[in-house]
Amino acid sequence: MENTYALKATGINKFFHQPTEFQVLKDISFEAKKGEFLSLVGKSGSGKSTLLYVLSTMDTDYEGTLSINDESLTGKGQNELAAFRNANIGFVFQFHYLLPEFTTLDNVMLPALKLGRKSKEEIRQSALDKLELLEIKDQAHKSANKLSGGQQQRVAIARALINDPAIIMGDEPTGNLDSKNTDIVFDIFRQLAKYRGQTIIAVTHDDDFAAKSDRVLELSDGYMVA
């Protein structure tokens, strides 16, 4: 029987030790299905960005267990986790983190070149396909710093998709966008989940964005309350 879960987190506890010991995540357990679009919400300081970084394997200093695509990731070394992330997780942040002097196309190709599973020509074609999916292929040869904010965020999403990750994680992915571009990004995420079976987990302060996703997970004082 095929596993229908993309991610499972069980009993996640996280402490900060400076300046004094403080528990920021308290016994968090949940599962995300393949093709599910989840929003993580909560007030500032509730622990949602901390949780995202634990789920993304970038923060390994936690108690509990985490598995993605049936692979247990708790306790693995940094090099192994970095390789796993590049192959299985796409990231979209509030700021696009594009290399300004590189073209749109080059920015999108970078993670796949690093992964090294395909030839450069295959990666180039895949990058163009991703840009076409995001309706920004006509900007492929422009420098990233010549694009509008909304275009830059779509390029960042194309870059997140280049290795066909199982999970796309967003940290305030629409935080710097106007309402029109927020709607565009939301619709892209919706299509990725529905038609490509990719799981979306996005931290957001945008109530409308969260309300339209498949499920809302709310954090309050380190606990998951919804």
Q: What is the largest CA-CA distance in the chain?
A: 52
Question: What per-residue confidence (pLDDT) applies to 3?
Answer: 66
Of residues 59, 49, 67, 56, the one with CA closest to residue 11: 67
Domain that holds residue 131: 36-58+77-224
The C-alpha atoms of residue 65 and residue 204 are separated, in whole angstroms, by 24
Classify residue 141: in a domain, yes or no.
Answer: yes
Classify residue 147: in a domain, yes or no.
Answer: yes
The C-alpha atoms of residue 99 and residue 220 are separated, in whole angstroms, by 36
Query: Which CATH number covers residue 195?
Result: 3.40.50.300
Classify residue 144: in a domain, yes or no.
Answer: yes
Question: What per-residue confidence (pLDDT) applies to 1?
Answer: 43
Residue position matching structure tokens 């290795």? 163
Classify residue 160: in a domain, yes or no.
Answer: yes
Counted domains in the chain: 1
Classify residue 71: in a domain, yes or no.
Answer: no
Classify residue 21: in a domain, yes or no.
Answer: no
Task: Give the pLDDT of the chain (226 residues) as one tens digit per residue.
Answer: 456 889 999 999 999 988 889 999 999 999 999 999 999 999 988 889 899 999 999 899 999 999 998 899 998 999 899 889 888 898 888 777 888 889 999 999 998 988 888 899 999 999 999 899 888 899 999 999 999 888 888 899 899 889 888 999 999 888 888 888 888 888 888 988 988 889 999 999 988 889 999 999 999 999 998 7
Classify residue 72: in a domain, yes or no.
Answer: no
Burial of residue 223 (number of CB atoms within 10 Å: 0-12, 13-18, 19+): middle
Radius of gyration of the chain (CA): 17
Classify residue 97: in a domain, yes or no.
Answer: yes
Burial of residue 87 (number of CB atoms within 10 Å: 0-12, 13-18, 19+): middle
- For 158, the token pair is 């194309």
The C-alpha atoms of residue 151 and residue 180 are separated, in whole angstroms, by 12
